[in-house]
Structure 1
Amino acid sequence: MLNNEFKKKFDLEKEVPKKIGIKKDFSEFMMKLDSIQNTAFIGTLIKVKNREDLASRTHKSSSQFASENPEKTILEDQAQYPGGFNTLRKQVADLFYTEAILPDQKVIKTNVVFVVEKDGTISSVHAEGDHFAFNRQAEIAMYLLPEKFSPAIINGTAVRYRFRLPLAMNFE
């Protein structure tokens, strides 16, 4: 809708300097909007992480990933994202806000570790890598995924499942 309004205004203007001004205003506006959206995502990430930290302190006994008798547990199904691993990676890449990253190297890598809960939601997302901003953006992208995972199954019961997703991005 914003694109259409700016385009209408741009198309109606006859003078070239004013057209250039409209185009510049639009670019600046979109950058500010992106920045505001990213700030909101970071605020949401902080709230979610705080909530998870509080929950883990009050529910220590429920944080087990397998039953208490490990020799009797048989993993029947591991947690899976709808569409598979490649769909997950593509969606994370699409949700990634690269404008927040000022790369000091061509390739930045991180490993995102998270828990797929019994209901397929994710929690305890933590990215481990050398680039702080890249790690935060990876965590935000994970929380923004549009679909739930199918949970892991042990002995016919849905269980929590720890998942590791390596990510790398080229900056040119």
Structure 2
Amino acid sequence: MGELVERVGEQDRVLAVVDRAEAIREGRLHRVATIVRRDSDGRILVHRRPGHASRFPGQLNWMLGGAVGVGESYEAAAARELAEELGVRAAPRLMLKFLCSGVISPYWLGLHEAVVTTPARPDAREVAGHHWVTEPELANLVRREDFVPDAREAYDRHRAAGATPPLHDGVWGWSV
């Protein structure tokens, strides 16, 4: 058996413990925690997924994250994923939670944010490259074909909820 997750229902209540691959294959709801990393100027870290990734290889994303483990809270999972993928620690703040339609399979998504001022040490298995962007730059990036579709849905919901604080201007200098 692979990675275990909690299968949840329409109200995000635990129904059973299942294998994540099985939950995805059968379209069973489970939980995913994501985190958006901001710098002290309010810019957002956008990263490119590695070309060898099993899901959305080579695509851009503004969220880091993964499955919520059995007995783990959304916040704890978001903090763990930030540490695993970027090598930094922070206390995430839940911005919104919603039932994501998902390109591969539906799931409950907890979207968190954290301001982190320490340098990233990206795990090459998770992050092929990264750059800081402003909110207007992100608004343009999410419409690109090579942006993770589920991340686009999260961005649209995040904006609709008014969860985005004002940002300062920055420069997009990373070739994508």
Q: Name the one with the larger strand percent.
A: 2
Q: Which structure's CA Rg is the greater one? A: 1
Q: Name the one with the larger helix percent.
A: 1
